[in-house]
Amino acid sequence: MKKFVYFVSMALVSLGINACKPEEPAGPELEGLAFKTPEVELAVGDVYTLELTITPADAVYDGLLWASSDEAVASVSDDGEVTAVSAGTADITVNSGEISATCKVTVKENREQVEMKIEVRALSANEAEVTVSAVHGQILPEDNLGLTVVNTFTGEEIQTIENTVSAEGNIVETVEGLIPAHVVYGIDALLTTPDGQSVTAESEYEHVWDEEGIVYDCEGNKYTTVIVGNQEWIVENMRVGMLNDGTPVERLDATDAWIAANESPAWCFYNNDEANGEKYGYLYNYPAAGSDRLCPVGWRTPTHEDWQNLGVAVGGTLYSDEWGDYFSMIGVHLKATEGWTDGKNGKDTYGLSFLPGGCRNAQDGTFNLEGSTAYMWSSTPVEGSEYGEINVWYITNWNLSNIRVVGTGGFSVRCVRDV
């Protein structure tokens, strides 16, 4: 019996000893608090949950106390959810004991939906100034703008601009690489804002730039001009592969394809040699030359009457016979001072500088008379012709003369306008 009591007494003593030991901590102590984003920008009405980093991640602490320095600007819940109330700045603080962290919250007014417009003005032959402005709402410095400019005739992207708006208000950019020949450009603007707006605007711009004595085609080729009498003539033969509205003119080298193109616009180099294109310009069939759109806007393929007017303006006398009209002894005044074979260079008295670009035969598609004859289309069909002939003018050694051909011939094109 005594032995039993002894064991009981020992158990009680053991329990008393254990009850006096301090409790072991359940994990490491909290060392630090930090916000993953120490500064936050919100718009009125936004709700945002702050992300908090606890160090160490498995720290044991009594709890977190959240507070806002200005509840009228931004309030915070017990789980770190911030509600933007009104414009201003507030500090959101979280602490556990003596350890704390602070996040600066800036609240902005909700932005009005932005609507933009695009305005363009020419600066030079190849440049234009693009202004993007807000019709509704505001464009602000923190916004981003993208501009894309495309040649609608060719589909080529001319320029892309990515820019951060530098000041409140209009955005002004200079676009380069334009063609001053009534070429139409598509301009697309994309504005993105920090509050998530994505605003677009589109515009089309026709680039025109007038220079005295200079004109461009819609591919950007540059020509000089001269005034003779009451008309202004382009000094060089045309070398453009599209009409002035962007419609392509097909290059056709093969003889069969050329002769078959009696209704569709086509062009070629003399003898299918590109070097001749640089020297003489292109040879065109009548569907191209007879169009009112091969020449630059405001210019035209000369009519039969225009060629007659030119002959008179340079002092010639108009004669007619069964073969057509002609002016005697004025060819030398129209021809360039070089480029003609066999010593047949001209005096170029009026600055028209006609060159002997030859022709492509309407019947068999062969190339003839380069170096000795300059052939030029008129736009005028021969009245009453049962074969659908067109009036063509040509310059040889002395004369400016008219012949009649069918539309599958290949001849040069000069352009003219009244002044």
Superfamily of domain 115-207: Immunoglobulins (2.60.40.10)
3-state secondary structure of 313: helix
Computed over every residue of the chain, the mean pLDDT equals 91
The better pLDDT of the pair 6, 344 is held by 344
pTM summary value: 0.75
Question: What integer pLDDT is reported at residue 384 of this predicted model?
Answer: 86
Note the pLDDT tens digit of each residue in 148-195.
Answer: 999 999 999 999 998 777 777 788 899 999 999 999 999 999 999 887
- The reply to whether 115-207 shares the fold of 32-106 is yes
Q: Was domain 32-106 assigned CATH 2.60.40.1080?
A: yes
Q: Residue 23's pLDDT is what? A: 57
For 32-41, write each residue's pLDDT tens digit: 999 999 999 9
DSSP 12-41: HHHHHHHHTSPPPPSSPBP-EEEESSSEEE
Confidence of residue 85 (pLDDT cuts 50, 70, 90): very high
Write down the domain spans for the chain. 32-106, 115-207, 214-418
Q: How confident is the model at residue 62 (pLDDT cuts 50, 70, 90)?
A: confident
Residue 51 has pLDDT above 90, yes or no: yes
pLDDT of residue 7: 30
CA distance linking residue 334 with residue 314, whole number of Å:
8
- Summarised one tens digit per residue, pLDDT across range 96-107 is 999 999 999 999
Mean pLDDT of 112-133: 95
Residue 10 has pLDDT above 60, yes or no: no
Residue-wise pLDDT for 332-383, tens only, equals 999 999 999 988 999 999 999 999 999 999 999 999 999 999 999 999 999 8
The residue among 397 and 72 whose pLDDT is bigger is 72
Edge-to-edge strand list for the sheet holding 88-96: 39-43, 99-108, 88-96, 65-68
Q: What is the pLDDT of residue 24?
A: 58
Band of pLDDT at residue 388, cut at 50, 70 and 90 = confident
Q: What is the DSSP string of 190-253?
A: EEE-TTS-EEEEEEEEEEE--BTTEEE-TT--EEEEEEETTEEEESSPP--SB-TTS-B-EE--
> Scanning the structure block, which residue is given the tokens 């290949």?
410
**133, 144, 194, 318, 331 from 167: Cα distances, Å:** 12, 11, 15, 68, 63
Choice among 100-104, 131-135, 138-142, 280-284 with the minimum mean pLDDT: 138-142
